[in-house]
């Protein structure tokens, strides 16, 4: 999160928003945000969203995710939103969205599976 300049912007039960300011180190060949940066912050948003549904003594790990890259990540700030679709005892299914700074253009969409583990 520190390497990416990422900020936890909003946390509510089942939904988390993370933002990420543009910097040169986070770009690909065209000067836009790199796919790995998008993926990292939306994975984190999904993981934190899953955690909001859990007791305090557990941890959440990513089992797998799938991401569709929809629009070029041409913006000065990324907004990633993770939402819990279904929370179970062992597995949690999340949806993740990456938007531009106006939260208007959908840049990427994630569907993820998280697992709850005892710390």
Binding site for a copy of itself (CB under 8 A): 2-4, 25-26, 34-37, 39-41, 43, 61-71, 85-86, 90-91, 93, 95, 106, 109, 111, 113, 115
Q: What are phi and psi of 43, to 5 degrees?
A: -65, -45
Min dist. Cβ of residue 76 to a copy of itself (A): 18
Q: In terms of CB distance, is 77 or 109 closer to a copy of itself?
A: 109
Min dist. Cβ of residue 97 to a copy of itself (A): 10
Closest C-alpha to 54, from 112, 4, 119, 111: 119
The C-alpha atoms of residue 95 and residue 111 are separated, in whole angstroms, by 5
SS3 99: strand
Min dist. Cβ of residue 81 to a copy of itself (A): 14
């Amino acid at each position: 999160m520190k390497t990416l300049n990422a900020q936890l912007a909003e946390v509510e039960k089942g939904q988390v928003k993370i933002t990420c300011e543009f910097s040169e180190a986070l770009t690909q060949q065209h000067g836009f945000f790199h796919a790995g940066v998008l993926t990292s912050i939306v994975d984190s948003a999904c993981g934190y969203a899953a955690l909001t549904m859990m007791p305090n003594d557990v941890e959440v790990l990513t089992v797998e995710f799938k991401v569709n890259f929809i629009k070029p990540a041409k913006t000065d700030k990324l907004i990633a939103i993770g939402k819990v679709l279904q929370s179970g005892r062992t597995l949690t299914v999340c949806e993740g969205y990456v938007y531009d700074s106006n939260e208007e253009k959908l840049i990427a969409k994630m569907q993820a599976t998280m697992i709850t583990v005892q710390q």
